[in-house]
Structure 1
Amino acid sequence: ALKKTLQKRPFIISRATAPGHGHWAYHWSGDIVSDWSSMSWSISSILNFNLFGIPMVGADICGFNGNTTEELCARWHQLGAFYSFSRNHNSDDAIDQDPAALGPHVVEAAKNALRVRYAHLAYLYTLFYNVHINGGTVLRPLFFEFSDDENAYKIDSQFMWGKSMMIAPALSPNQKKVDIYFPKGTWFFVGDYERIEGKAEFMSMPALFTYPNVYYRSGSIIPIQKPNITSESTRQGPFSLLVVLENELSDANGLLYLDAGDGLDTDQLKQFNLYDFTVKDQNLNIESKHLGYKTNQIVEEIIILGFYQQPKSFDIH
């Protein structure tokens, strides 16, 4: 009915779900309590619903029932910015909990986390496309990507965006450090691109409010954009390619899917663009797998992480 009425892709959020729900609509976890335990438990909830075939899911950021606190809401925004469905929402008999109502500390934490989200919306949208076509999950536990790592099966306080980004939020009051489990491989902090060598063990990292604890995984090529005032204006901007390598000789790959954002049956009508990115033998290749959507967007910058030495030269073909 919504398709016929709007002639656009409908956006339906439901608290109740049933088998097949994920084909038609999305989910939020209902009226949760505004406390630290509920924030922590929300991670298991969003991962479970991805397993149930509902990839667009989230909890009420800062909680719904009861009064939140400044610190809780700041930390919850750092987590909730990486729910696939990200929304601050609460009861009308509780205190106002939009960031501005709670003060500059919450504003800073929320703004910085949401800027990271906005910068990666194209990557997130591509994850949804891939799940729509091939099945799978958008948000996933670590052991989905590191199935040979027995320790990864025990981690319930971190999660992945696809295969390329790991989120490890601060989940306790007065927390100055986060003990983060880094699977084997090379990782880079989203804030300053600090290199971290994962050794399948925990590392203590600063629990900052200036940047959420989000890490890029080597072997990835991630499309990013400069955050703008709205998600719509962000998605219309030019792209940068973030090439995340373990070293100068390693390989990487990534994907970018683009369409109008609200059209009906764009995959069946072939009204989309699909780009494949690969790095192999020190060559970056961008291949257009399908071109069916007109856009003037360009790749204006290529950022390469993982080189131990500054490249002496490069060629463009």
Structure 2
Amino acid sequence: MTEVNEEMLTVPEQAARWWRVMQDDEPSAGEKRAFAAWVAESPKHIEEMLRLAQIHRAFSRGQVRWPEDAAEALIRAAKTAGEDTVVPLWPPRSSRPEPTRRPVRVAAFGLAATVLLAVCVSWFALSRAESFETKIGEQRSVMLDDGSRITLNTASRIEVRLRPDRRVIDLVRGEALFEVAHDAQRPFDVRIDDTVARAVGTQFEVDRRDNRTVVTVVEGRVAVTSAAAAAPHLLSAGERITVDSTGLGAVEKGIKLDDATAWTRRQLVFRRRPLGEIAEEFNRYNAAQVHIQSDTLRKQEVSGIFRTDDVSSFVALLASKPGVRVVGDGSGGYVVTSDDSASPHR
């Protein structure tokens, strides 16, 4: 943790700082002790942490439960204890405070501080993300504690948070197939920036690209929402939707699911797809990149089935076309030109 002069920060700034510290993957024992001491210093600290907790909906449902007393009552009790009252959670024997004339108020403050600390620590532990990723050309299957399975495609990364009231998966990059274990009490949300694909028990695929995201439902139903859309779209098996900066596109029906999930079998299936798009697909899976420098050639549509790692077959297909030349780029990849290339072959 970076050293910060607490006296230079306002109480809300201190609370925000402690929230970030405790959200770290592994706060140290010293940081936890310092946080506990900070919580116990003043009723204002309790109030600000409660305010942050409400913003983050930390106390809404599930195993992290607030006591029967309402949060507002605890705040009032902490405030009435007086700003000059300091009650450490674990005071040294030699510095235990003398009995006060306001034992009820001090006890209320101590209770509020203790409960807040326990709830915050539990919430931070539950909300911390677990990350999984793959490298270029790698695929990986992950079994979650709830029984769901996630298969990651090439160069992909997810962050998983299994909370008591819901399951949240952030698709940071790439593509993944989600086989969701049924749990009606805990929706399964896949988030891509401000787009959310929600399912309870189903199977669906999400493909995140630079300028769009594609959601394809294999089994069951999935609700897709976006900040740029007026209303969510409910997709059924065999349906697909594309999300971009303008919001949710039209629902595509009758999707060939074997084609959509072919990558799980390390296959690429193309049906009348432009050669430029096919080259981009191969480039996702392989360090050997294919660069087509002819706009006309990039727009030509072909159909075929390839292995994800079989770049040579695709390059051979390109080289077989009249007027096309393929040369190495010096780093294991290929430069493809044709008689109508915008830039001369080198």
Q: Give your verdict on TM over 0.5.
A: no
- Higher share in helix: 2
Answer with 1 or 2: which has the greater Rg: 2
Q: Which has the higher contact order (CA 8 A, sep 6+)?
A: 1
